[in-house]
């Protein structure tokens, strides 16, 4: 199928399940925050704003290992190298358990200093601590689920991956109001619901991966025996994914500190912190379905790159990129018109200042969506080819090379508004850079077409 099926039908066959799963997963993030906002108010959203970047860094471990191992697996699949396929699957799972467990223990020990470092205020500090103390307990099953999700898509079983995501997100949406409101557990309830849901998702996808219909041959013997060459390659290819999440966390620190500097009084600071928290969640909602296209693309691109089917490779890149760009342009238009309604939904008391300032921020920030799709596509394409350096350059361009200097310059000129302008400017500049690099890569692929 990966090497012979019509490329457009193949991309849809693999992407639609991934998009559906990602959409449900993104919807969970929105609903989770809505329940917290409605139950505990905007201040609680501020507490989750500080917890979210720490959670992002920890979860990025599973994404890094999963994306990297999936790329190695797909290219080996294209070459019919079955020994490498088995080795990378088992090495990735064992490595994830060790790294995730270590990070969970360290994060639990240093949880309070971490929240203080991120700038949590006395009013929202406890919310962040309560949420993360539960999330850390379930970190290993969460990251294992991510690794198996990526590997399952790499072997072409996109529907299984979709069902796993739907089970996790759907169960989360059901359990959230029960633990938050019925059991009156607040943000702890939201975290408990997340852990239970993710563990259920892991059980499902593990039984599928361990079953007879899967090419992911999981072995339990020799747990500490791993292939370090393949792990090094997997981590190298997956590094841009980790950096994307880790730099996102670093940027959150910068933004929250700039908000504290330019917002004025404590009430304004907490208002803007909550606004940024809502924007983070909604952006996650907007971006995740586009990652579904990428996740459908990666096994196709990796397989055909390994099999040297360069005409198919070129066609699928152009088709997938076109879809993603159109998707983000439509997203920008919708946000432009719906921003006030979005912030009204997250306001317990229909606070007019929260709604107005939030709508203004989101409208400005979303201008960058016009070109951000090129950056997402370029990074993922280079990862699928096993080009970690190029993928890393594209990944850090948006958040490090462009956003960090721009946000300091623009906030010094225009205060809080400058923060939102910096987001848009960085997305546009990274988009132009990605267009250039993609054009160069496509010309190289064309030169190899016989």
Over residues 123-138, mean pLDDT: 88
The most confident of the ranges 120-124, 303-307, 315-319 is 315-319
Tokens read off for 421? 């302008």
pLDDT over 80 at 431, yes or no = yes
pLDDT number for residue 242: 87
The tally of domains found in the chain comes to 1
Q: Residue 73: which pLDDT band, with cuts at 50, 70 and 90?
A: very high
Instruction: Share the mean pLDDT of the chain.
Output: 88
pLDDT over 80 at 296, yes or no = yes
Tokens read off for 369? 């969506």
Q: Is 1 domain-assigned?
A: no
Q: Residue 30: which pLDDT band, with cuts at 50, 70 and 90?
A: confident
- What is the share, in percent, of the chain residues with pLDDT greater than 70? 97
Residue-wise pLDDT tens digits, 82-115: 889 989 999 999 999 999 999 999 999 999 888 8
How many of the other CB atoms lie within 10 Å of CB of 327? Answer: 18
The sign of the dihedral angle between the CA atoms of 259, 263, 267, 271 is negative
Distant-in-sequence, close-in-space partners of 152: CB < 8 Å, separation ≥ 6: 158, 160, 161, 164, 205, 208, 209, 214, 216
Over residues 419-448, mean pLDDT: 94
pLDDT number for residue 319: 94
pLDDT number for residue 427: 96
pLDDT number for residue 124: 73
Give the residue from 236, 270, 337, 335 showing the smallest Cα distance to 122. Answer: 270
pLDDT number for residue 224: 67
Q: Which domain holds residue 27?
A: 7-447
pLDDT number for residue 428: 97
Residue-wise pLDDT tens digits, 140-171: 999 999 999 989 988 888 889 889 988 988 89
Over residues 283-308, mean pLDDT: 86
Q: Is 417 domain-assigned?
A: yes
Q: Residue 222: which pLDDT band, with cuts at 50, 70 and 90?
A: low
Q: Is the pTM for the entire model greater than 0.75?
A: yes
Over residues 61-70, mean pLDDT: 91
Give the residue with greater pLDDT, 118 vs 127.
127
Tokens read off for 236? 């190298």
Over residues 409-435, mean pLDDT: 96
Q: Is 2 domain-assigned?
A: no
pLDDT over 80 at 122, yes or no = no
Least confident residue range of 68-82, 114-128, 298-312: 114-128
pLDDT number for residue 119: 67
83, 217, 320, 357 from 213: Cα distances, Å: 18, 10, 28, 52
- Dihedral over alpha carbons 79, 84, 89, 93 (to 10 degrees): -140
Structural contact between residues 50 and 256, judged by C-beta atoms closer than 8 angstroms? yes
Q: Is 71 domain-assigned?
A: yes
Structural contact between residues 151 and 73, judged by C-beta atoms closer than 8 angstroms? yes
pLDDT number for residue 292: 84
Residue-wise pLDDT tens digits, 356-385: 999 999 999 999 999 999 999 998 898 888
Q: Which residue has the tokens 């302008």?
A: 421
Secondary structure, 3-state, 115-137: HHHHCCCCCCHHHHHHHHHHHHH
- DSSP string of 296-335? HHHHHHHHHHHTT-HHHHHHHHHHHHHHHHHHHHHHHHHH
């Amino acid at each position: 199928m990966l090497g012979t099926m019509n490329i457009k039908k193949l991309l849809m066959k693999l992407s639609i399940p991934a998009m559906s799963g990602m959409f449900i997963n993104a919807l969970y993030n929105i609903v989770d925050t809505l329940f917290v906002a409605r139950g505990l108010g905007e201040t609680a959203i501020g507490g989750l704003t500080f917890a979210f970047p720490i959670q992002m860094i920890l979860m990025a471990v599973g994404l890094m290992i999963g994306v990297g191992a999936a790329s190695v697996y797909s290219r080996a699949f294209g070459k019919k190298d079955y020994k490498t396929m088995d080795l990378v699957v088992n090495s990735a799972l064992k490595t994830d358990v060790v790294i995730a467990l270590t990070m969970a223990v360290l994060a639990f020990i240093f949880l309070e200093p971490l929240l203080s470092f991120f700038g949590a205020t006395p009013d929202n500090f406890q919310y962040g601590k309560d949420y993360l103390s539960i999330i850390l307990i379930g970190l290993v099953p969460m990251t294992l689920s991510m690794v198996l999700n990526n590997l399952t898509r790499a072997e072409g079983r996109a529907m299984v991956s979709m069902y796993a995501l739907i089970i996790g997100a759907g169960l989360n949406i059901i359990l959230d109001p029960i633990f938050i409101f019925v059991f009156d557990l607040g943000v702890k309830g939201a975290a408990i619901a997340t852990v239970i849901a993710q563990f259920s998702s892991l059980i499902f996808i593990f039984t599928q991966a361990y079953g007879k219909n899967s090419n992911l041959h999981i072995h339990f013997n020799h747990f500490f025996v791993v292939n370090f060459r393949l792990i090094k390659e997997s981590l190298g290819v997956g590094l841009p994914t980790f950096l994307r999440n880790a730099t996102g966390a670093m940027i959150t620190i910068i933004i929250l500190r700039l908000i504290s500097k330019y917002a004025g009084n404590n009430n304004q600071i907490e208002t803007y912190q909550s606004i940024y928290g809502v924007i983070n969640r909604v952006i996650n909602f907007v971006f995740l379905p586009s990652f579904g296209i990428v996740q459908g693309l990666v096994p196709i691109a990796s397989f055909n790159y390994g099999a040297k089917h360069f005409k198919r490779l070129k066609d699928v890149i152009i088709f997938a990129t076109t879809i993603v760009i159109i998707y983000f342009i439509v997203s920008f238009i919708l946000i432009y018109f719906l921003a006030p309604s979005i912030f009204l939904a997250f306001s317990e008391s229909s606070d007019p200042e929260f709604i107005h300032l939030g709508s203004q921020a989101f409208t400005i920030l979303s201008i960058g969506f016009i070109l951000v799709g090129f950056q997402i596509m370029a990074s993922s394409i280079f990862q699928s080819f096993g080009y970690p350096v190029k993928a890393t350059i594209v990944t850090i361009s948006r958040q490090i090379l462009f956003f960090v200097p721009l946000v300091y310059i623009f906030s010094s000129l225009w205060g809080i508004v400058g923060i939102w302008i910096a987001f848009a400017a960085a997305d546009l500049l990274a988009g132009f850079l990605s267009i250039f690099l993609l054009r160069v890569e496509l010309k190289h692929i064309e030169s190899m077409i016989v």
